[in-house]
Structure 1
Amino acid sequence: MTQNTLSEAEYDAITDAAAHWCMRLHAVDCTAEERQAFEQWRDAHPLHAFEYEAMLEIWEVAEHLPRPEPAPVVPIRQPASSWRRYAVAASVCALALPLAAWAGWNLGWLPNSYQHFAATDNVRHVTLGDGSQVELNLNTELTYSNYKDERRVTLKKGEAFFEVSHDLGHPFIVRAAEGRIRVTGTRFNVWMYEDQVKVNLIEGSVLVTSNARLSGDGLRLGPSMQARYKHGDDMPQISQTYANDNSLAWRSGRLVLDNLSLNEALPQINRYLDKPLMLADNSTGSIRVGGIYNIKELNSFASTLPKVLPVFLTRNKDGNPVINPMPQQPPKN
């Protein structure tokens, strides 16, 4: 079963299973056997994990809804069967959810629409509920929620290029790592690897903050400007980009490394790899690398390094390839 060949019914089945597991794992009577079965289901396909995370996000948002007064408990002589408990719960949800959703929407707590997207082996183009166009790079996951006061995208991992539908009264927010990008209508790219984020603005303007918990709207970018931030940064670093900037080369299937140090290059490379490349020490990170690479073939990148750089490869205890500098030859007398 691959993402490219899934039917709508198969997608629906995965979503239903994710909802079931989200409910069971939050139940007080969830058993160790069920948790093990969940882990097997989750690990069976990348979409299983993604759908569960999306369902978990909805669950966590719903927990902020105001709770109604509990109804009087009616004692019963015999414990209800599993099907009876599910039937009662479904009946209560059918009555309560429309009112809760309406209240949540008006208070700005819950969205009235929710979408989730993933790209694994191929670049993917999607249309959000507001008409905005998004191109997802390989190994990218994001969600879109339409709230009363804002449109919200959460970039869970990877990289995406946005063409945002203009709506001055309904700002478009992208959450990436600890930061936030705020726009009303524009074209921009967001790259994320672990806790590092880079924003490239092509057209329009955006406000970038590196820590969404801090007050203020952040720093404004104009066209051909770039912002970078990572964990712990109170302010993003702003710089100008130039005509030869290669940040968007992925849209044509390429990664361009323009004489970068390995310290700079590895975050760009590792987001495509099954096993991230590691550096043996700090000095190894200063070795420089260049070239143009097919983003679908970067898993073979490590094996080519000893052919073009003065390095050799080992593996650490986790199986990650480690780049080591070649020992320097002692000077001849």
Structure 2
Amino acid sequence: MEVEGNGQYEQACDAALGWIARLRSDQASAADRESFALWLGEHTSHRSAMDQMLELWDDLGVLQMLPDATPAELPREAANQNRWYAGAVAVAATVMLAVFLYPQLGSDPVSNEYRTAVGERLIVDLPDDSQVVLNTDSSISVTYSEDQRHIDLRRGEAWFQVTSDKDRPFHVDSGETRVTAVGTAFNVYRLQDGTDITVTEGVVRVSEIVETGAHKPATQMLQVNQQLRTRSDGWLLSPPSDFSTRLAWRQGELVAEEMPLIELVAELERYHDTNYLIADPSIARLTISGVLQLDEPEAILKALEVSLGVQADTLESGTVRLLKADQ
């Protein structure tokens, strides 16, 4: 590449470095890109300087891929067809530069919504290779922009496997709670009175979303195998434990470990459009252990009959009544 050995060209090189730094930052605006288009077309030395500085900047000489053209001064008024064509080439070169060098700059945030019905599970592959698994009756809104990745858990439960990107933090909002992670995996379960956050890999930061200045937002760092319960009356951090059984829903399983029947019924109602009525108070605190298949409610009821002596009757309304089997 021919290099002009004068002060004007050195100034152009300095300006080119400044443009590269600005356009590759998170602060570049649409006005910056328009100003860059004008600067690139002002003089032939500007394009030459940009080519050379790109070669010095991370070996990114992408302007070499552009069609050969000698950009003229960017026309403010098209005095003739030749001048207009030269200016258009300069603008086209700038657009192609933005495509090759700065694919995330200036793009509008990309938003999508995903939801599951009762009893349904859904795996969502996100644009950055992160992954979300939605549990039953859950809903999320996903918004990706040039400076952050934002998930709004509107209802239910979701597990996140996050691809690391230090330049774009990954946020999950659940009510008044925000979970921030970079390269980790965690589960978020939104309840009526708060949120449960369980970390299965890496580290996350949990913070309180406070819209007023009434008090300082709470914050807590969570490591693998830790769980935090956020409630309006305070936060409760559980000691390190193996929560894999708690998250067995991802495989369609419910792992019961001495689970009282009343709790089992509540779980069944999460996954099926069926009401369960414990008609005999004496069986409410009976416990069951085992791996139950969430997609097979009839098999679960059969297991209750065999292991606990509990009889299940389906009423005309569709409600399943549970009572002690006849002796």
TM-score under structure 1 length normalisation? 0.52
Question: 2:109 is matched by which residue type in structure 1?
Answer: N
- Residues 223/244 of structure 1: CA separation in 2 closer, same or farther (3 Å cut): closer
Q: Contact 2:193/2:232 (CA < 8 Å) preserved in 1?
A: no
Instruction: Give me the whole-angstrom Cα distance separating, in 2, the residues matched to 1:161 and 1:313.
Output: 33
- Residues 151/235 of structure 1: CA separation in 2 closer, same or farther (3 Å cut): farther
Over the residues paired in the alignment, what is the CA RMSD in angstroms?
3.8
Which 10-residue stretch deviates more, 232-241 or 189-198? 189-198
Q: Contact 1:123/1:135 (CA < 8 Å) preserved in 2?
A: yes
- Residues 206/285 of structure 1: CA separation in 2 closer, same or farther (3 Å cut): farther
Name which of 87, 94, 113 aligns with 1:116: 113
Instruction: Give me the whole-angstrom Cα distance separating, in 2, the residues matched to 1:312 and 1:212.
Output: 49
CA shift, 1:186, in A, is 1.3
Report 1:142-221 matches (<5 A): 142-147=140-145, 150-192=148-190, 195=193, 197-209=195-207, 215-221=216-222
Report 1:116-135 matches (<5 A): 116-120=113-117, 123-135=121-133
Instruction: Give me the whole-angstrom Cα distance separating, in 2, the residues matched to 1:164 and 1:320.
Output: 40
Which 10-residue stretch deviates more, 177-186 or 297-306? 297-306
CA shift, 1:130, in A, is 3.6
Q: Contact 1:201/1:225 (CA < 8 Å) preserved in 2?
A: yes
Which residue is equivalent to 1:297? 296
Deviations 1:194-225 (A, max 9, x none): 55643220222123357766742532211111
Q: Contact 1:182/1:208 (CA < 8 Å) preserved in 2?
A: yes
Instruction: Give me the whole-angstrom Cα distance separating, in 1, the residues matched to 2:148 and 2:282.
Output: 46
- Residues 171/244 of structure 1: CA separation in 2 closer, same or farther (3 Å cut): closer
- Residues 182/244 of structure 1: CA separation in 2 closer, same or farther (3 Å cut): closer
Q: Does 1:288 align with 2:287?
A: yes
Q: What's the % identity of the aligned pairs?
A: 27
CA shift, 1:187, in A, is 0.8
The 3-state SS of whatever aligns with 2:296 is helix
Which residue is equivalent to 1:71? none
Which residue is equivalent to 2:139? 141
Q: Contact 1:146/1:152 (CA < 8 Å) preserved in 2?
A: yes
Q: Contact 2:160/2:186 (CA < 8 Å) preserved in 1?
A: yes
Q: Name structure 1 gaps, 5 residues minimum.
A: 1-105
The 3-state SS of whatever aligns with 1:168 is coil
- Residues 220/265 of structure 1: CA separation in 2 closer, same or farther (3 Å cut): farther
Which 10-residue stretch deviates more, 296-305 or 279-288? 279-288
Give 1 or 2 for the bigger CA radius of gyration: 2
Question: 1:219 is matched by which residue type in structure 2?
Answer: Q
Question: 1:117 is matched by which residue type in structure 2?
Answer: Y
CA shift, 1:246, in A, is 0.7
TM-score under structure 2 length normalisation? 0.53
Which residue is equivalent to 2:270? 271
Deviations 1:51-77 (A, max 9, x none): xxxxxxxxxxxxxxxxxxxxxxxxxxx
- Residues 196/264 of structure 1: CA separation in 2 closer, same or farther (3 Å cut): farther
> How many corresponding residue pairs?
218
Which residue is equivalent to 1:20? none
The 3-state SS of whatever aligns with 1:246 is coil
Which residue is equivalent to 2:224? 223
